[in-house]
Structure 1
Amino acid sequence: MADRPRFFDDLAGVAGGAFSALTGLREELHAMVRARIDEALSSLDLVRRDELDVARELATRARMAQEDADARLARIEERLADLEKAVTAPTPQA
């Protein structure tokens, strides 16, 4: 009967070693997959989120400035048309 507990101890030791080996294998596999994914992503020339947000903000400001410039140009063209009408309008002779 003394052999039986030792057998279970040996079996538990083997199972513990296998579990430890599988844990190490899992961690190594995880590191390899992460390295491959990082390598693939770096070759895609992706933009980081903060850089995209900055570019979006710049585009928004540029669009607003363009709209302001278009409105200002329309007012200037309207004033110019009014001035041209005033200059070319016949003056009444008294």
Structure 2
Amino acid sequence: MQTDNRLFDDFVKLVNGAAGTLAGVGREAEAGARARAREWMGGMDFVSRDEFEAVKAMAVAARDEADALKARLDALEAKG
């Protein structure tokens, strides 16, 4: 009976080792895929979130200034 338990214990150790190895391979594959995606995207002409927000803020400021100038022009035209 003891040999059956030892055989079962060895089998469990083998399965646990295989599961650990597969998990490691999965993590390695994921890291490699992330690195390749980062390389691929790095070669493209994307802007960062900070750059996008800065341009967006400048566009809003320019639109506000244009609206103010239009209102001022309308007021001057109404007088003349």
For Structure 1 versus Structure 2, the TM-score category normalised by the shorter chain is: 0.7 to 0.9
How far did 1:66 drift? 2.0
1:43-58 paired onto structure 2 within 5 Å:
43-58=43-58
2:30 aligned residue: 30
1:1-94 paired onto structure 2 within 5 Å:
1-76=1-76, 82=80
> Hey, what's the Cα distance between the residues in 1 that align with 2:71 and 2:16?
77
Deviation per CA, 1:12-35: give whole Å up to 9, x if none: 111111011011101101101111
> Hey, what's the Cα distance between the residues in 1 that align with 2:8 and 2:77?
96
Q: What is the number of equivalent residue pairs in this alignment?
A: 80
Give the secondary-structure state (helix, strand or coil) at the position aligned to 1:44. Answer: coil
TM-score (norm 2): 0.80
RMSD: 1.9
TM-score (norm 1): 0.70
Structure 1: gaps (5+ residues) = 83-94
Which 10-residue stretch deviates more, 10-19 or 47-56? 47-56
Between Structure 1 and Structure 2, whose CA radius of gyration is higher? 1
